[in-house]
Amino acid sequence: MRKPIMAGNWKMNKTAHEGVELVREMMDDLTPIASVERVFCPTFLAVPDVSRAVEGTDLGVGAQNLYFEASGAYTGEVSPEMVREFCDYVIIGHSERREYFGETDKGVNRKIKAALDVGLTPIVCVGETRELREQGKTESWVRDQVVAALDGLTAEQVASLIMAYEPIWAIGTGLAATPADAEEVCGGVVRATIAELYDRATADAVRIQYGGSVSPANAYEIMSQPNVDGGLVGGASLKASDFVTIVRETARAKGLS
């Protein structure tokens, strides 16, 4: 059985000081829910302090990005090894990075390989815009993103990473995908594509998160879907009680509490 994983993507929110406060607020409630993998993804500058704050617990820390080169003259960038010093996970190819910072499928693929090379677990984001959905192109778009992201990876590497289906129209809008839509894309597109590219066992091993307006109110229904193995949570991960409730609901939805 795949262990559910709930990650909070803090995006460009919380100073290092505020991030540690937030973690401290949640820690006692989150530590007992060991059936769900729980991960905080703060900004780079908050990562070291947050990682120290969770030391001695099984709470994980992830970065929101990295650069694929190992070192050198890349002003403003952070290398895989630098991320690895403090993190176990890294979000790659978030739609905000694709939209505002020009990230391409090719770059995303290079970043995934670089992350795997240093032992980080990539959380690879894919998802369609509202226009694409309305044009009935969700399946082909997401499929193409998955194919491009995984290009050249071994089955073993793919089995170890995490995919996140984040429909762009659902991010930060309060309009989450319906549980059925989340299931359809996570299972019928992302997992199905991996089965087609690799094999059934690899596809069954990959954990696939849903992201986009996950909240305490909708977490149970969405996380109850068999092909949804957790969530990538933005806004609601910035509020301690909301994130704790979402993690609890996930454990309940998977019959683990």
User: Does 245 sit near ligand 13P (CB under 6 A)?
Assistant: no
Provide the mask over 7-46, with x wherever binding to ligand 13P is found by CB under 6 A and - wherever it is not. Answer: --x-------------------------------------
Q: Nearer to ligand 13P by C-beta: 91 or 150?
A: 91
The tokens of 253 are what? 């939805």
CA dihedral over 236, 179, 125, 171, signed as positive or negative = negative
Closest CA to 169 of 141, 206, 208: 141
Look at residues 71, 108, 60, 159 and name the one whose alpha carbon lies nearest to residue 80: 71
Closest-CA residue to 46 (of 24, 20, 74, 78): 20
Instruction: Determine which residue in the list 30, 50, 214, 223 makes contact with ligand 13P, applying CB under 6 A.
Output: 214
| Smallest distance from ligand 13P to CB 1, Å | 24
CB of 175 to ligand 13P, least distance (A): 9
Task: Work out how close the CB of 58 gets to ligand 13P at its nearest, in angstroms, rounded to a whole number.
Answer: 22
How does DSSP classify residue 168? G
SS3 content of the chain, % helix, strand, coil (to 5): 50, 15, 40
CB-wise, 94 or 207, nearer to ligand 13P?
A: 94
By C-beta, is 125 or 198 nearer to ligand 13P?
A: 125
CB contact at 8 A, 27 and 109: no
Contact letters (x/-) for ligand 13P, 165-204, by CB under 6 A? Answer: -x----xx--------------------------------
Angle subtended at Cα 211 by Cα 109 and Cα 9, rounded to the nearest 5 degrees: 75
**CA distance linking residue 65 with residue 129, whole number of Å:** 21
Phi-psi region of 11 (alpha: psi -120 to 50; beta: other; left: phi over 0): left
Nearer residue to ligand 13P within complex by CB, 94 or 111: 94
Nearer to ligand 13P, 174 or 188 (CB): 174
Q: Which residues from 94-113 bind ligand 13P, rule CB under 6 A? A: 94
> What is the Cα–Cα distance from 124 to 121, expressed in whole angstroms?
9
User: Between 128 and 167, how does the x/- string for binding to ligand 13P read (CB under 6 A)?
Assistant: --------------------------------------x-
| Number of residues that this document lists for the chain | 257
Q: Minimal CB distance to ligand 13P: which residue?
A: 234
Q: Which residues bind ligand 13P (CB under 6 A)?
A: 9, 94, 166, 171-172, 211-214, 232-236
